[in-house]
Amino acid sequence: VDAKAQAELKERMKVYNSEPGMKKSWDNVQRMFKCCGVTNKTDWYDVLNGTLPSSCCPGGEEKCDEWSEPCYRKARQWLLDNIPSVLVFGVCIGVVQILALVFSMQMYCQILHAEKSFD
């Protein structure tokens, strides 16, 4: 699973310059996690002709040796650390939806019963 995810992320790197949304996403991730590339900073060399995006560097320089930690590892760890919160949030949303369904069915039955009593 990890290898497939890394391959897909590297494939998406190829459109960094041609898709503004993808560029913004990569830049945000790299700044947020203070990382560079999927597996290492050299992932960018083929995409950007031997240079790094400014988001790989704290000061925004084009070439730097900062943030050499891979983004895949940091993003994966962040996701694993936050899975309990995501699950709790999902369960809460599910409970709210079930309660809404129960109350709407109860209201429907009361309306149906009221209509029958008028006949």
Query: What three-state secondary structure class fits 14?
Result: coil
Q: What is the per-residue pLDDT across 57-110, written as a single tens digit (0 to 9) for each?
A: 877 665 576 687 899 999 999 999 999 999 999 999 999 999 999 999 999 999
User: Residue 27 is encoded by which pair of tokens?
Assistant: 């830049």
Counting residues of the chain whose pLDDT is more than 90, the rounded percentage is 70
In 3D space, the residue among 70, 61, 59 whose CA is nearest the CA of residue 30 turns out to be 70
DSSP letter at 54 equals: G
C-alpha 47/C-alpha 23 separation (Å) is 12
48 has pLDDT over 70: yes
**pLDDT of 58:** 79
Q: Tell the burial category of 31 from Cβ atoms under 10 Å away from its Cβ (0-12, 13-18, 19+).
A: middle
**pLDDT of 62:** 55
Region of residue 51 (phi > 0: left; psi between -120 and 50: alpha; otherwise: beta)? beta
User: Residue 82 is encoded by which pair of tokens?
Assistant: 């936050």
**pLDDT of 63:** 57
* Average pLDDT value for the chain: 91
Domains, in order of start, for the chain: 2-118 (1.10.1450.10)
Counting residues of the chain whose pLDDT is more than 70, the rounded percentage is 93
